[in-house]
Structure 1
Amino acid sequence: MNTFTTLDFCIFIAYAILIIVVGLYTGWSKGGKEKDSKEYFLAGNSLAWWAIGASVIASNISAEQFIGMSGSGFVIGLGIASYEFIAAASLIVVAVLFLPIFLKTQIYTMPQFLEIRYSKSVKTVMALFWLLVFIFVNLTSILYLGALAINKVVEIPIFSSIICLALFAGIYAIYGGLKAVALTDLVQVVFLIGGGLLTTYIALDYYAEGQGAYVGIQKLMMNVPEKFDMILDKSNPNYTYLPGIGVIAGGLWVSALYYFGCNQYIIQRALAGKSLAEAQLGLVFAGFLKLILPIIVVVPGIVAFALNAPIDKPDQAYPWLMHNFIPSGVRGIAFAALVAAVVSSLASMVNSITTIFTMDIYKEYLVKQKTVSEKKLVAIGRVFGVISLVIAVVIAPMLGNLEQAFQFIQEFTGFISPGALAIFIMGFFWKRAESRGALAAAIGTFIFSLTMLCFFPEVSFIDRMGYVFLLCILLIVIFGLCNKQKQSTKCIEIEARLFATTRLFKILSFIILLTLGVIYYIFW
Structure 2
Amino acid sequence: MNLTPLDICIFSIYCVIIIFIGLYVSRTKKGEKKNSTDYFLAGRSLGWITIGASIIAANISAEQFIGMSGSGYAIGLGMATYEWIAALGLIIVAKWFLPIFLKMKIYTMPQFLEQRYDKRVKTVMAIFWLLVFIFINLTSILYLGALTIKSLVGVPLIYGVIFLAAFAAIYSVYGGIKAVAVTDVVQVAILVGGGLLATYFAMDKLGDGNGFLQGFSNMYETSRDKFHLILKSSNPGYKDLPGISVIIGGLWVANLYYWGCNQYIIQRALAAKSLRESQKGIEFAAILKLFVPLIVVIPGIAVYSMGIELDKPDEAYPWLLSNIMPVGVRGITFAALTAAIVSAVATMLNSISTIFTMDIYKPILHKTASESRLVNVGRLSCIISLTIAIIIAPLLTNIDQAFQYIQEFTGFISPGALAIFLMGFFYKKATANGALLAAIGSFVFSGLMKFLFPDFPWMDRMLIVFILCLITIVISTLIEKKGDSKFAIELTPGMFKTSKAFNIIALIIIAILVLFYLLWW
TM-score computed with the length of structure 2 as normaliser: 0.99
Q: Which residue of 2 aligns with 1:250?
A: 249
Of 440, 457, 460, the residue aligned with 1:463 is 460
Equivalent in the alignment of 2:238: 239
- How far apart are the structure 2 equivalents of 1:409 and 1:383? 27
Shift of 1:24: 0.6
Which letter maps to 2:375?
V
For residue 497 of structure 1, give the secondary structure of its aligned residue in structure 2.
coil
1:56 partner letter: I
Equivalent in 400, 405, 411 of residue 403 of structure 1: 400
The CA deviation at 1:488 is 1.1
* Secondary structure of residue in 1 paired with 2:495: helix
> Deviation of residue 403 (structure 1)?
1.4
Give CA deviations for 1:132-175 in whole Å, capped at 9, x if unaligned. Answer: 00000000000000111111111111111000000000111100
Alignment of 1:138-149 (within 5 A): 138-149=137-148
The equivalent residue for 2:173 is: 174
For residues 401 and 20 of structure 2, the distance between their equivalents in structure 1, rounded to whole angstroms, comes to: 36
Aligned to 2:482: 485
Structure-1 residue corresponding to 2:469? 472
Counterparts of 1:238 and 1:10, CA distance in 2:
41
Provide the residue aligned with 1:335 in structure 2. 334
Distance 2:435 2:357 in 1: 23
1:421 is matched with which residue: 415, 418, 421? 418
Which one-letter code corresponds to 1:424 in the other structure? F
Q: Aligned ranges for residues 196-345 of structure 1 at < 5 Å? A: 196-345=195-344
CA distance in 2 between partners of 1:411 and 1:97 (Å): 28
Counterpart Cα distance in 2 of 1:31 and 1:284? 37
Paired with 2:283 and 2:41, the residues of 1 have a C-alpha distance of: 20
Q: Which has the larger displacement, 349-358 or 441-450? A: 441-450
Letter in structure 2 aligned against 1:184:
T
What letter corresponds to residue 503 of structure 1 in structure 2?
K
Q: In the alignment, does 2:515 pair up with 1:518? A: yes
**Pair 1:494-2:476 in alignment:** no
1:356 to partner: Cα distance: 0.3
- 3-state SS of paired residue (1:31): coil
How many percent identity over aligned positions?
Answer: 59
What is the CA–CA distance in structure 2 between the aligned matches of 1:379 and 1:495, rounded to whole Å?
A: 38
Say whether residues 1:381 and 2:378 are aligned partners. Answer: yes
Distance 1:408 1:22 in 2: 37
**Cα deviation digits, residues 216-252 of structure 1 (max 9, x gap):** 1111111110100011111212211111111111010
Q: Distance in 2 between matches of 1:122 and 1:165?
A: 34
Greater displacement, 488-497 / 268-277: 488-497
Q: CA deviation at 1:401?
A: 3.1
Distance 1:124 1:92 in 2: 29
Q: Which among 439, 443, 464 is matched to residue 440 of structure 2?
A: 443
Q: Match of 1:117? A: 116
Structure 1 residue 421: Cα displacement = 0.4
1:170-193 residue CA offsets vs partner (Å, 9 max, x unmatched): 111100000000000000000010
Question: Equivalent residue of 2:231, what SS?
Answer: coil
**TM-score, normalized by length of structure 1?**
0.98
Q: 2-side partners of 1:170 and 1:476: how far apart? A: 41
Deviates more, 1:31-40 or 1:296-305: 31-40
* Secondary structure of 2:30 counterpart: helix
SS at match of 1:201: helix
Corresponding residue for 2:429?
A: 432
Q: Distance in 2 between matches of 1:399 and 1:408?
A: 12
What one-letter code is carried by the residue in structure 2 that aligns with 1:65?
Q
Shift of 1:125: 0.5
Structure-1 separation of matches of 2:427 and 2:356: 29
SS of 1:30 mapped into structure 2: coil
Query: Who is 1:158 aligned against?
Result: 157
Whole-Å Cα distance in 2 between the matches of residues 180 and 61 of structure 1?
18
- Partner residue, 1:49: 48
Q: 1:285: how far off?
A: 0.3
Q: Distance in 2 between matches of 1:416 and 1:337?
A: 32
Q: Which string of whole-angstrom CA distances, capped at 9 and with x for unpartnered residues, describes residues 374-397 of structure 1?
A: 000000000110000000000111
CA distance in 2, matches of 1:265, 1:438: 22
Superposed CA deviations along residues 416-459 of structure 1, whole A, max 9, x for unmatched, are 11110000000000001000110011111111111111111121
* Residue ranges of structure 1 left out of the alignment (5+ in a row): none
Distance 1:58 1:248 in 2: 25
| Residue 496 of structure 1, CA deviation | 3.4
Separation of aligned partners in 1, 2:168 and 2:492: 41
1:391 aligns with 2:396: no
SS in 2 for 1:499: coil
In structure 2, what is the Cα distance between the partners aligned to 1:406 and 1:510?
A: 36
Query: Who is 1:16 aligned against?
Result: 15
RMSD over aligned Cα, in angstroms? 0.8
TM-superposed deviation, 1:481: 1.3
Distance 1:494 1:127 in 2: 26
Please give the alpha-carbon distance, in whole angstroms, between the structure 2 residues aligned to 1:523 and 1:10.
42
CA distance in 1, matches of 2:14, 2:337: 12
Listed one character per residue, the Cα deviations across residues 471-503 of structure 1 (whole Å, up to 9, x for unaligned) are 111111110111222211211111231101111
Task: Output the amino acid matched with 2:126.
Answer: A
Partner secondary structure for residue 520 of structure 1: helix
Report deviation, 1:405. 2.5
**Alpha-carbon separation, structure 2, partners of 1:338 and 1:516:** 27
What is the alpha-carbon distance in structure 2 between the residues aligned to residue 229 and residue 364 of structure 1? 50
